[in-house]
Amino acid sequence: MVEVLESTNSVLKEMAEAGEPEGTVVVAEEQRAGRGRLGRGWASPRGGLWFSVLLRPEVPPAEAPSLTLMAGVAVAQALKAQLGLDARLKWPNDVLVRGKKLCGLLAESRSDGRLEYVILGIGINANFLLSALPEELRRTAITVREILQRPVDRLALMRAIIKELDAGYKAFRDGGIAPFLERWRELSETLDRAVRVETATGIVQGVAEDIDATGALRVRTPNGPVTVGSGDCVHLD
């Protein structure tokens, strides 16, 4: 573990470019410039669990985003097994407890005709209080310490997540994303709810019906079904 980094994803990206092998993990006690989706900042105070994992799957580049679904299932299952938390999944890359964000996932990849690598960034609000987060995030976030009223063994939690990721990744390499779709649906907090999704081309609003084999969200709108590959999803009910 490194005490302070700008971003575990950024450091691991440099290592991946230099040929670092699959399975390498970078962990930080604190991130100064943690990143979320769409280049947004990710608050990463001391006491959290901030780490990134390097994968080199031999799959088409179009399948890389589906690894986020696999990772979400792995994190949710580890939180349940290790801490007894009823973790749920919000499309496309959040893990919720009590309807609030406990964990964010960020998959970044590089391809040049073929997929060269995928970096899975995982950030869990663990052993700090909500007061450590920027005020604008406190209403929608939650921490493990706030839920359990005690700090937890972060190393043990990370080991549990890595174990689930390892099993999930092996299954992904053998059978693609199909084995995880049904489990993702079971854990979903998004499906069957009214949602508003902000995409690069506009806003899609309706009822989230399902996800497809690529991890895209199918939304039933007044004008018919729309499939959304990426975007910011807000639960409306």
Taking residues 3-14, report their average pLDDT: 87
Sheet holding 202-211, edge to edge: 224-228, 217-221, 202-211, 194-199, 232-235
Please give the Cα distance from 54 to 118 (Å, whole number): 6
Number of H helices, E strands in the chain: 5, 12
| DSSP codes joined into one string, 114-136 | SEEEEEEEEEE--SS-GGGS-GG
Give 217's contacts (C-beta < 8 A, 6+ positions apart). 91, 92, 190, 195, 197, 208, 210, 211, 227, 228, 233
Residues 171, 209 within the same domain = no
Q: What is the pLDDT of residues 141-163, one digit of tens each?
A: 999 999 999 999 999 999 999 99
The CA-based diameter of the chain, rounded to the nearest angstrom, is 51
Q: Which of 148, 164, 187 is the last residue of a domain?
A: 187
pLDDT at 36: 53
**Please, which pLDDT band fits residue 237 given cuts at 50, 70 and 90?**
confident
Q: Tell me, rounded to whole angstroms, the distance of Cα 85 from its chain centroid.
A: 17
What is the overall mean pLDDT for the chain? 91
Residues 116, 77 within the same domain = yes
Q: Is the pLDDT of residue 35 over 60?
A: no
pLDDT at 116: 94
Number of compact structural domains in the chain = 2
Q: Is the pLDDT of residue 39 over 70?
A: no
> What CATH number corresponds to the domain at position 109?
3.30.930.10
Taking residues 91-106, report their average pLDDT: 95
Q: Is the pLDDT of residue 7 over 70?
A: yes
pLDDT at 178: 82
In this prediction the pTM is: 0.92
Residues 58, 127 within the same domain = yes
Q: Which of 154, 171, 187 is the last residue of a domain?
A: 187
Q: Is the pLDDT of residue 54 over 70?
A: yes
117: burial class by Cβ within 10 Å (0-12, 13-18, 19+)?
Answer: buried
Q: Which domain holds residue 16?
A: 2-187
Residues 50, 128 within the same domain = yes
**Please, which pLDDT band fits residue 191 given cuts at 50, 70 and 90?**
very high
Tell me the pairing of strands 100-111 and 94-97: antiparallel
Q: Which two tokens stand for residue 195?
A: 């949602």
Q: Which of 153, 172, 187 is the last residue of a domain?
A: 187
Using a pLDDT cut of 90, give the percent of the chain over it. Answer: 73
Residues 142, 176 within the same domain = yes
Residues 136, 215 within the same domain = no
Q: What is the pLDDT of residues 209-226, one digit of tens each?
A: 999 888 899 999 999 999
Q: Is the pLDDT of residue 94 over 80?
A: yes
Q: Is the pLDDT of residue 125 over 90?
A: yes
